[in-house]
Amino acid sequence: MSRLAAAALRRGVTTSTDLSSSLLAVSPPVSARLFSADASGEATATAAESQDDSFLKASREGLAYGRFYSVIGGGNRLEKNMLKTDIIHHLDRCGLSLDDVKIDYNNRYDPLAALLRFSSKAMFTTANRQTSQNRVYRIDEISREVWDLKKPFDGKTVLLQGVPRNALPEDIERFLCGTNFEPPFESFIRAGVPEPIRMVLVKFRTKTDAMNAFITKNRGFCLNNQVSMRVLQ
């Protein structure tokens, strides 16, 4: 090989090596770019989850619960005919809904108090201020556990009072004929004057069905006994 050919060959090898090195220098590492994208996505997801948890925690901590009752006649009771809407209207500056009110009954199903759920501590303070102005009712703070344990009737259950003690389920069904009740019935005896009184709880599918039964059957007769009815809330 001549000296001219050998020199040309060396220049070609050198140029190829320089070009390869240049391409490697300007090309970014693929694996590093992918890792950076994954890390960014994980950070974004973590931030979103943290924000959601903070929101839920703030919502739970913002709620307040109270027990609303009358202070007249020894206190710790409500009027038998008081409705949830009466309480909501009385505390008209507290933003309560029907779902925020549960009635607390004794074993004779006489209303003792109303359990209330407020959207914030400020609303509970407003309720306290409203009740203290008229001095007829009082509201005490309760825990969330007390609220959660109370089972609401939601106006879908009717209490029958004065059912004959010898009345069979078939007799009660005849008394309720024409209404959309849901068997079975829950029957029990409570002390009364001059003798114990039999009571029966009857469930209905809707509030409207329960109210229609009350309107059409209250003070009716079952086996010659007059039966009084009351819609439980």
Predicted TM-score of the model (pTM): 0.71
More confident residue, 196 or 19: 196
Q: Where in the chain is the domain with CATH 3.30.70.330?
A: 58-149, 157-232
> pLDDT value at position 73?
72
- From CA 36, how far away is CA 40, in angstroms rounded? 6
Total number of residues shown for the chain: 233
68 pLDDT above the threshold of 60: yes
> pLDDT value at position 46?
53
Domain 58-149 superfamily per CATH: RRM (RNA recognition motif) domain (3.30.70.330)
Range in 15-19, 200-204, 214-218, 220-224 the model is least confident about: 15-19
> pLDDT value at position 56?
43
The residues, ordered by sequence, that sit 6+ positions from 97 with a Cβ below 8 Å of its Cβ are 88
- Three-class secondary structure of residue 77 per DSSP: strand
pLDDT in tens, 8-59: 445 544 444 444 444 434 444 444 444 344 444 554 455 445 444 443 443 4
6 pLDDT above the threshold of 70: no
- From CA 213, how far away is CA 43, in angstroms rounded? 59
- From CA 80, how far away is CA 86, in angstroms rounded? 12
The burial class, CB within 10 Å (0-12 / 13-18 / 19+), for 155 is: buried
> pLDDT value at position 29?
46
Peptide bond into 28 cis (omega under 30): no
Rg, Å, the chain Cα set:
37
Peptide bond into 183 cis (omega under 30): no
Q: How many CB atoms lie within 10 A of CB 207?
A: 16
The residues, ordered by sequence, that sit 6+ positions from 182 with a Cβ below 8 Å of its Cβ are 202, 203, 204, 205
More confident residue, 72 or 84: 84
Average pLDDT over residues 100-128: 95
> pLDDT value at position 61?
56
Percent of the chain predicted with pLDDT > 70: 73
> pLDDT value at position 134?
80
As a whole number, the mean pLDDT across the chain is 82
Fold entry, domain 157-232: Alpha-Beta Plaits (3.30.70)
> pLDDT value at position 191?
87
- From CA 162, how far away is CA 151, in angstroms rounded? 25
8 A C-beta contact, residue 170 and residue 206: no
- For 144, the token pair is 């969330």
> pLDDT value at position 194?
84
- For 143, the token pair is 């825990």
Average pLDDT over residues 141-163: 96
7 pLDDT above the threshold of 70: no
The residues, ordered by sequence, that sit 6+ positions from 135 with a Cβ below 8 Å of its Cβ are 71
Pairing mode, strands 197-204 and 225-232: unpaired
Q: Which among 186, 81, 204, 89 has a CA at the least distance from the CA of 101?
A: 89
